[in-house]
Structure 1
Amino acid sequence: MVIQISKETCPRPFLKWAGGKGRLIQQYIPYFPKNYKTYYEPFLGGGAVFFYLQPTAAALTDINAELVTTYRCVRDNVEDLIWLLKEHQDKHSKDYYYNVRDNPGSTDLEKAARLIYLNKTCFNGLYRVNSQGKFNVPLGRYDNPNICPEDLLRADSVALSQTQIQHEDFIKVLNYATSSDDFVFFDPPYHPISETSYFTAYSPNSFNKKDQERLRDTCAELANRGVKVMICNSDCEFIRKIYIDINFEVHRIKAARTINSNTKNRGMIYELLITSFKDFYLPKQ
Structure 2
Amino acid sequence: MVEVMNNERVKPFLKWAGGKRRMLADIRSCVPEHFRRYYEPFVGAGALLFDLQPAEAVINDINEELMNVYRVIESDVEGLIGDLEKHCNEKDYYYKIRDLDLSEDYKKMSDLEKASRIIYLNKTCFNGLFRVNKEGHFNVPFGKYSRPNIVNERTLRGVSRYFRENRVKMMTTDFAEAVEGAGDRDFIYLDSPYDPLSTTSYFTSYSNDGFSREDQIRLHDLFIDLDRRGAFVLMSNSATPFIKDMYRDYRITFSSTSRLINADGSKRGRIDEVLVTNY
Scaled by the length of structure 2, the TM-score of the pair is 0.92
1:141 alignment counterpart: 144
Corresponding residue to 2:199 among 195, 198, 208: 195
1:221-240 equivalences in 2 (<5 Å): 221-240=225-244
Distance in 1 (CA, whole Å) between partners of 2:13 and 2:20 is 13
In structure 2, the partner of 1:69 is 68
Unaligned runs of 5+ in 1: 278-285
- The equivalent of 2:122 in structure 1 is 119
Secondary structure in structure 2 of the residue aligned to 1:138: coil
The superposition leaves residues 124-181 of structure 1 with CA deviations (integer Å, 9 ceiling, x where unpaired) of 111100110111001102001110101110001111222111111101134210212x
How far apart are residue 258 of structure 1 and its match?
Answer: 2.1
Counterpart in the other structure of 1:280: none
How far the C-alpha of 1:92 sits from its partner, in A, is: 3.3
- Superposed CA deviations along residues 9-60 of structure 1, whole A, max 9, x for unmatched, are 4210011111100111011111111110110100010000000000011111
Partner of 1:282: none
User: Is contact 1:127-1:135 (8 Å) kept?
Assistant: yes
Corresponding letter in the other structure for 1:176: G
Query: Which amino acid in 2 is paired with 1:270?
Result: D
Deviates more, 1:137-146 or 1:200-209: 200-209
**Amino acid aligned to 2:154:** D
One-letter amino acid of the structure 1 residue matched with residue 232 of structure 2: K
Indicate the residue corresponding to 1:184 in structure 2: 188
Tell me the residue number matched to 1:281. Answer: none
Structure 2 residue ranges without an equivalent (≥5)? none
Tell me if 1:24 matches 2:54.
Answer: no
Which residue does 1:101 correspond to in 2?
98
Q: Give SS of 1:230's match.
A: strand
Rounded to whole Å, the distance in 1 between the matches of 2:157 and 2:12 is 12
Runs of 4+ in 1 over 3 A off after TM superposition: 259-265
Percent identity, please: 44
1:45 matched residue in structure 2: 44
When normalised by structure 1's length, the TM-score is 0.90
Distance 1:263 1:127 in 2: 15
Matched, 1:267 2:272: no
> What is the alpha-carbon root mean square deviation over aligned residues?
1.5
| Alpha-carbon contact 1:41-1:185 (below 8 Å) kept | yes
Alpha-carbon distance in 2 for matches of 1:74, 1:7: 19
